[in-house]
Structure 1
Amino acid sequence: MQRWNDVSQIPSDIGGSVVTLGNFDGVHRGHRAVLTEVLAQAVDGLTSVAVTFDPHPVAVLYPERAPGLITSLDHRLALLEAAGVDAVLVLEFTREFAQLTPDEFVEQVFVDALSARVVVVGEDTRFGVRNSGDVATLLELGERFGFEVVTVRDQGADGEHSRWSSTQVRELLSDGDVGGAARVLGRPHRVSGVVVHGDHRGRELGYPTANLERHCDGLVPADGVYAGWLVRPQRPASDPDSTLPAAISIGTNPTFEGTSRRVEAYVLDRTDLDLYGEPVTLEFVARLRPTLRFDSVDELLDRMAEDVTKSREILSTMVPVQPA
């Protein structure tokens, strides 16, 4: 997959393209429905292109309302590549860029830079200054500039009243509903970071944990204990230690009067691992319980043993999904 960080990097001989645009945070099932239509339209040598933005527009225009990102830019690009598009154009979103009218954006990006023949969008697509452009605007501009517009209907599971969306995923994760988030994403949610030293209290208790650095990639779910996988991306997938079952804890360790929020994982039945300094990915499968404060260490140990048993039961019936 080609990555372009500016329209100046797009080859002048691109010929023609099928284009879609969006933030694509999470690259969830709704996004992938649009991407599938892009690939279906990209025939006769047309290049399939996803146009996205970095940073998130809300983070630039309304920093106080900026959403937590489900996926880092690198993960987003990996997921877009896995979806099969030929290229991604990552446009730097600035206040100046935000002043482009819908006409200016379409002419400069879709027409002049990408030679768009087809533009595929979801029903809720908005673009241009103050989000003043919508599907109707695109249809008018398509007639003017000679490209076709294909609209993909909102996607959602049977019986759900709301469509699949990044906002929905964020809300589910904020509630600790990692199973619900996985259904919208089409895969387990993941958080990545480098393993750092903690208090070493877990090792003293018989449950050594891998503590992730404070600033992780991926939206951290609500405090609680989860069953999941610890993935070691630097190891080949064929290595039996590349993906390991884990009990994951998020919270402040209230039993020990902790104040800083931490993400840590105990690899089930393993005390021999040295993960310090290694980048790892945690994939969340199921929430076991909220974070609790225990009156004694013995009570904590009893509950941790239960958590490990539940995690083992849940994960023993599953095959881990290798992240993109």
Structure 2
Amino acid sequence: MDTIRKNMDKDVNNVKNYQQAVDLLKSGEVVAFPTETVYGLGGIATSDAAVLKIYEAKGRPSDNPLIVHIGTIEEVEHYVTNISDQAKQCMAAFWPGPLTIICEVKENVLSTKVTAGLKTVGLRMPNHPVALGLLRALGEPIAAPSANRSGKPSPTEGIHVEEDLRGRIPLILDGGATGIGVESTVIDLTLQIPTILRPGGVTKDMIEAVIGPVNEPNHIEQQEGAPKAPGMKYKHYSPDAPVYLIEKNEAAIKEAIDKIHAQHKTVALLAPELYANEQADYFFSFGEDTQADMAAHLFQALRACDATTVDLVLATVTSLDGMGSAIMNRLEKAAGNQWFHAID
């Protein structure tokens, strides 16, 4: 299969590109497109055949549910039922935007392969002109996980999608670099206490300002069977070399690199720019020492490691306040919760 990457900037005839994407989607194919978080790989959410192609292209386990993207708030009641006041308040406050809301799914509307057999589904309305343009031109819901091979770092640029899925999908709508850089927050509003299942661009404090107390466990205990949200069950975001977490401390970083080199191994350091270390074999920047910059650069830095032959990767951590919980969620998954001191 040939994979075409279409530029969707202001000087291109986007109407024609949308129509090509719509035609492919309506024929049961999948299309990659940008959102404000990461690039998604979409298929029509009511089609079993289309959803299967998403799983096949990604190599994704079929018991991992998919988020359903919609273009207008009026579509919500087509796909979910028993919509709570809290859900309506969150939609009004954060849509379009990086918040996925888990609600009770209507029977016999969406493909059961989207929900992995659960009685709930995650809905979101992305805040990106290309994503919204595609959804509104299509007029149907799109199931879309991140547009990467399963387990690898999520794509924040069109070229990342092409690197992972070339020959596996027909079309990439390239809208340039995404803004936020980590996937949407997922909140379950079917529970007695609203619970964040995956932290993201909308923080706990932001949600609590709208609906009151929200639970955000550090680690979600898994139920038997399918997880209720993407990214809860399997290792994610990993480059080829093993990743180890390390504190942002110049002395600790230097000591770690010296120890790795003493073992005749090579290392890539992922850290804010001010921690650049010439002793590391490779350095990939998280940008300025802010959580916003770290989130925006995280997946790109992890992906850059695969263009090297390093034996291992050191990634500096951040605090859990604000966007920090989302960043650390991704880093802990990339590292399998391994810290540098675990190396013998």
TM-score, length-scaled by structure 1: 0.29
Structure with a larger share of its residues in strand: 1
Structure with the larger RCO, 1 or 2 (CA within 8 Å, 6+ apart): 2
TM-score, length-scaled by structure 2: 0.28
Larger Rg: 1
